Chain A
Amino acid sequence: MNAPLMIFFVLAAVAVFGAVSLILQREPIHSALSLIVVMVALAGLYLLMGAEFVAAVQIIVYGGAIMVLFVFVIMLLNAGEEERTNFSKLATYAGIPLALAVTGFIAAAIARSGGYLPAAAPNGALTSTKTLSMLLFKEFVYPFELTSFLILVAILGAIVLAQREN
């Protein structure tokens, strides 16, 4: 039981706790806070794996921009408590065990096929930003340009949506 394994279990527990809290909270703002906790835990896991740039981008973009957008919208719309649904009880009693069973099957399938992949090499082998940027601008330059176009379209869409009706 060495240090990276312990850190992994702590961060994984925090991430799963955040995800469960997302489901169980009644107010959307608390769900948003739980999701932020999940994202920070995942950033920690990326750091543990040596992907430092991705960890930083995860916190800056996901945790610092996207989730702020969510929090703003929740505050603007003054989203209150979740209403009780009058769905059938079947969904709750059959659905949750089924979803967990599916997850368990996927996890078991992964665990059984574990021999094909080498263990992750976390400590020491940091991916430098230079490597990532060389890849991004040489081999992946076409998806890069496409995503920049996508962001432009999204900005235009957001502006159009936010216009008042004249």
Chain B
Amino acid sequence: MVPTDYYLILSAILFGLGIVAFVFKRNIITLFMAIELMLNAVNLAFVAFSRALGKPDGEVFVLFVIVVAAAEAAVGLGIIILTARNRHSLNVERVDLLKL
């Protein structure tokens, strides 16, 4: 039997690592992957709580989070492709002005 706390602590660690990745990486795509990592950490917390309280509502919400992450990934990557083509660089420090 694994205590719920262990899952929550793991979720917190993954979330923290996602934040570190988000702050310190330069490539837009890697930033996006850090966001996905944070969403996954939150999903883990949801499922852990759902199991602890005995209700399956948390798992249904996890399905919604996964769907929203998919939609966001699709549109976000489309925007990234266009931005990268216009500015010829994937470095997020170059995308700091609205003007090209």
Contacts and interface: CB of A to CB of B under 8 A. Distances in A.
A111 interface: yes
A119 interface: yes
Contacts of A153: 71
How many A residues are at the interface, by size bracket?
35 or more
A14 B24 CA distance: 22
Interface residues of B, number: 70
A35 B1 contact: no
A85 B52 contact: no
Nearest to A60: B66
A143 B34 CA distance: 26
Contacts of B2: 4-5, 8, 48, 119-120, 122
B62 A110 contact: no
A117 interface: yes
Contacts of B56: 127, 131-132, 135
Contacts, number: 232
Given A42-B40, A82-B25, A119-B3, A16 B14 contact: yes
Contact of A46 (B47, B81, B93): B47
Interface string A124-155: 01010001100110011001100100110111
Contacts of A2: 1
B60 interface: yes
A100 B18 CA distance: 11
Contacts of A5: 1-2
Contacts of B8: 107, 110
Contacts of B36: 35, 62, 66
Given A22-B37, A73-B81, A111 B47 contact: no
Contacts of B44: 42, 45-46
Given A19-B37, A62-B69, A102 B1 contact: no
B51 to A, nearest CB: 4
Nearest 7 CB-CB pairs, A to B?
A103-B16, A154-B71, A161-B78, A19-B17, A120-B51, A106-B12, A114-B5
Given A19-B17, A77-B80, A155-B74, 13 more contacts: A4-B2, A20-B17, A62-B40, A65-B70, A66-B70, A70-B32, A73-B29, A79-B90, A114-B5, A120-B7, A120-B48, A140-B57, A161-B79
